[in-house]
Structure 1
Amino acid sequence: MSQTLHFFIEDSLLYAEEFFSGLGKITRFKGREVTADEIKDADFLLTRSTTKVNENLLNKCTKLQFVGTATAGYNHIDADYLASVNIPWLPASGCNADAVCDYVLSSAFNLANKYGFELKEKKIGIVGVGQIGSRLVKRFGALGCEVVEYDPVRAESDPSYTSSEFEQILECDLITCHVPYVKTGKHATHHLFNLDTLNKLKPRTILINACRGEVVNNKELLTAFEQGIDLRVVLDVFENEPQIELGLLPYLEFGTPHIAGHSLEGKARGTEILYKLICERLNLPVEIKLEDLLPSMALDHMVVTDNYKLSQRQYRALINLVYDIRNDDIDFRMGLAQNSESFDRLRKEYSIRRELTSLNLTCDQSLFKTFTDLGFKTKLK
């Protein structure tokens, strides 16, 4: 490269120095405080969701080549403005998908233990079969569950994919939502679950929302609970965050402050994805791997006995060893009890957890595929 490239990188991107210091000069900035003058010399701008990327921020940039966000979501990016000034941009699609899947699995296994049922006997409905939903299809399939997929948008764009009808989702025993927020139109997801649809669910249906708060009408969900509906609901996202409907908390099985995707691997993977994208743009080899940077867990390797048949309780113990949603639920309720307006603080101060991929399992052929499909890092004996 004939001249030194200047990377302006939000201070919350993990491992940025390790990935980008060999490509150019790095300047860190605070997402909520950054100004147009501060980043005017940027060749590359790398952010997370706290940086609002729009004309006000970029109007003094004269040589900006690329904007990247190390997040799967991109509501903070003014895509129309970037297109109007011919600045390419990309999100880190799928960076936290495994973390969200871990969240859903921990919810499902802990509720199965609490209420005494076998997951493999339940019908699972997955609303939105993209980066997260497709992984969950594999994970629940590994447990022997019948899985119903609902993604009409994907069906329209992919002739090889067939979506179930939404009415089939409403017949499932466990429903988990992983769709973007679409307010209007043919496939709107705004209030997909409202008083009408909630009342169509079977008693004791498990409903998990770990995508966008507006997918579930929170006020009508509270009304349904107050009217005596028998549902088991897990919410990681709420309408009107951070001013959430506190009246829901006593009715929820688990509640958390929008942290389903907040794992060390998920955050760091966002940085790695941007590194690979930029290497591709600069026609440079990818020389750094995330797996070489991540720390080991205190217990990072287990060996499973040959021909051992694990019970559901043992699978739950393995998952909870890495991530147990019950702890986050307790912290959430305690935090809000101390200060009802602490949602943002609880999210910001959340202790980053690890993913199932951080636990290495050595096993024989009989368990290899199941462990791999569940999300563990697996090695054959």
Structure 2
Amino acid sequence: MIIVADENIPLLEPFFGDLGEVRRVPGRAMTAADVREADILLVRSVTRVDQRLLAGSRVRFVGTATIGTDHIEHGWLDAQGIRFEAAPGCNANSVVEYVLSVLVLHAQRQGLADWTSLSVGIVGAGNVGGALARTLAGLGFAVRVNDPPRQARDPGGDYVSLAEALACDVVSLHTPLTTCGSDPTYQLLGASELARLRAGQLLINTGRGEVIDGSALLRRLQAANAPEVVLDVWENEPAIAPELVSRVWLGTPHIAGYSLEGKARGTEMLYQAVCRLQGVAPTRELGQLLPEPPLERLCFTGSAQDFTAVATAVNACYDPRSDDARLRYTMRLAATHRAAAFDGLRKHYPVRREHASVTVTLAEANESLRRTFRALGFRLEA
């Protein structure tokens, strides 16, 4: 069995080596010739999987190691009898921790001693948005969730309008990209929605770049009383607009879900799907394959202040300012090189581990701080 896979999917050989021959190819440049002999195709969001890619191949299974599936032509796959699997929720925790790190930095810039005094509007309550809402609520934040499709299925749920979500101190976008239906998300935030945002507010987008009208956002950021904006996803990736990068507070190259655990969890989910397809029992588990983390333990003395300790721990695991600096550097390159440099930042992304890889030791019995660290996902020394 031949398995063709995006070269950026981690742990391919440890998971799939016993199932067949693994052939790595660049995901964005993947061609019909690359997949013609494949039985299994494994991709990420940068590969458009459609008739043009697969016609004439012997592919019988397609898996994407991502939550989103808007890069997949589902109807054509169904018509050809090609089985498809995604990895829903694989990197949800990674994105949640990305947002938490941004919130820490925002609270510090605002001079807040209590970051939970911020209200957070979450637009899109799927795997990522739902996990973020639960984490923030567990930490004590006031959370307001907007998700019209879910509200239609659950009229009694605790949902708010988009306008109410946009009125929060922080707005975090986690919608898929859809262009049809009763609630399309393409350019969900246009000029009129962006005009509602005020100075001091924070807008974070880790969903899909096209959910925001990029031209309208640039105009809003050039106007008075502009909000702070953090973008991890962009229109027209990888050829993103340097003018917009220069205006946002923080910009990162579509890596919010790029913790090692988040990426490898997607690989494991596809491995399990292929095992089911082949009728064999899985023999590999993610916990067996993850390497030792570079940071293993954090110790706080009795003099540590609660938010200071939290900020130290969260930023020790991940500080988005380093990714922001690398992205801004690529925008200084010649226009013909920027897109490749954007992809290069993702391909050669440094190892980032999740909170659960770190054990926190507290010198004194501070039950409030212990609850906070538990809610953040850190391990606590008994």
Confirm or deny a common fold (TM above 0.5): yes
- Residue 235 of structure 2 is matched in structure 1 by 239
Cα separation, 2, equivalents of 1:54 and 1:199? 38
**Counterpart position of 1:123:** 119
| SS across alignment from 1:186 | coil
1:162-177 to 2 correspondence within 5 Å? Answer: 162-177=158-173
Q: In terms of mean alpha carbon deviation, does 308-317 or 177-186 score higher?
A: 308-317
| Change over 3 Å in CA distance of 1:166–1:304 after alignment to 2 | same
SS in 2 for 1:299: coil
Query: For structure 1, which segment, 145-154 or 24-33, has the greater mean C-alpha deviation from structure 2 after superposition?
Result: 24-33
For 1:129 and 1:92, the matched residues in 2 are separated by 17
Where 2:120 maps in the other structure, the secondary structure is strand
Residue 241 to residue 372, structure 1, CA distance change in 2 (3 Å): same
RMSD: 2.6
Which residue type is aligned with residue 373 of structure 1?
A: A
Structure 2 letter corresponding to 1:81 = W
Other-structure match for 1:337: 332
The superposition leaves residues 86-108 of structure 1 with CA deviations (integer Å, 9 ceiling, x where unpaired) of 11101111222122112211111
1:227-306 to 2 correspondence within 5 Å? 227-303=223-299
Could you tell me which runs of 5 or more consecutive residues in structure 2 were left unpaired when the two chains were aligned.
none
Q: Secondary structure at the match of 2:69?
A: coil
Residue 77 (1) aligns with residue 72 (2): yes
Query: 1:143 is matched with which residue?
Result: 139
The residue type paired with residue 355 of structure 1 is E
Aligned pair partner of 1:373 in 372, 375, 379: 375
- Residue number in structure 2 paired with 1:311: 306
Runs of 4+ in 1 over 4 A off after TM superposition: 32-38, 303-306, 362-365
The Cα of 1:279 is off from its aligned counterpart by 2.4
* TM-superposition CA deviations, 1:212-256 (whole Å, max 9, x none): 112222222222233212311111122233343333334321112
How far apart in 2 are the matches of 1:58 and 1:226? 44
8 A contact 2:300–2:309 mirrored in 1: no
CA offsets, 1:64-114, max 9 Å, x none?
432111122233322111111111101111222122112211111111112
Counterpart of 1:205 (choices 189, 197, 201) is: 201
Inter-partner Cα distance in structure 2 for 1:257 and 1:68 = 23
Letter in 2 for 1:360: T
Distance 1:127 1:146 in 2: 14
Aligned length: 374
Task: Please report the TM-score for the alignment, with normalisation by the length of structure 1.
Answer: 0.88
8 Å Cα contact 2:177/2:186 also seen in 1? yes
Q: Given the superposition, is the C-alpha separation of residues 301 and 254 from structure 1 closer, same or farther in structure 2, using an over 3 Å criterion?
A: same
Amino acid paired to 2:345: E
- Equivalent AA in structure 2 for residue 329 of structure 1: D
The Cα offsets for residues 332-376 of structure 1, whole Å up to 9 and x where unpaired, read as 222212445514413423423222232233567935543233233
Q: TM-score of the superposition, structure 2-length normalised?
A: 0.88
2: CA distance between counterparts of 1:339 and 1:291? 42
The alpha-carbon deviation at position 292 of structure 1 amounts to 1.6
Tell me if the contact between 2:67 and 2:87 (Cα under 8 Å) persists in the aligned partners. Answer: yes
**Residue 15 of structure 1 corresponds to which residue in structure 2?**
11
Question: Which of 157, 163, 179 does residue 153 from structure 2 map onto?
Answer: 157
Query: For the Cα contact (< 8 Å) 2:49–2:72, is it kept in 1?
Result: yes
Contact 1:219 / 1:245 at 8 angstroms: preserved in 2?
Answer: no
State the 1:318 CA deviation: 0.5
| SS at structure 2 position matched to 1:139 | helix
Q: Say if 1:44 and 1:226 are closer, same or farther in 2 by CA, change over 3 A.
A: closer
Identity %: 35
Cα distance in 1, alignment partners of residues 210 and 33 from structure 2: 36
The one-letter code matched in structure 2 to 1:155 is Q
- Comparing 184-193 with 201-210, which one deviates more in the overlay? 184-193
| Paired residue secondary structure (1:342) | helix
User: Partner amino acid for 1:157?
Assistant: R
Structure 1 residue runs of 5 or longer lacking an equivalent are: none
Does residue 186 in structure 1 map to residue 182 in structure 2? yes
State the distance in 1 between where 2:3 and 2:339 align: 32
Q: 1:349 aligns with which of 340, 345, 366?
A: 345
Amino acid at match of 2:118: K
Q: Equivalent residue for 1:361?
A: 360
- Partners in 1 of 2:60 and 2:224 — Cα distance? 56
Q: 1:369 to 1:246 in 2, by over 3 A?
A: same
Paired amino acid for 2:72 = I
CA drift at 1:197: 1.6
Q: Render the CA deviation track for 1:301-326: whole Å, top value 9, x for unaligned.
A: 235568x8752122111011010011
For each residue in 1:139-198, what CA deviation from the matched residue of structure 2 results, as whole angstroms up to 9, or x when unmatched?
A: 222331100011111222346634211121122000000001123442122222222222
CA contact (8 A) 2:310 2:373 kept: no
Instruction: State the shift of 1:36 in Å.
Output: 4.2
2:88 corresponds to: 93
Residues 106-131 of structure 1, C-alpha deviations (whole Å, 9 max, x = no match):
11111111221232111110000111
Corresponding residue number in structure 2 for 1:43: 39
Q: Is the 8 A contact 1:119 1:143 kept in 2?
A: no
Q: Is the 8 A contact 2:198 2:225 kept in 1?
A: no
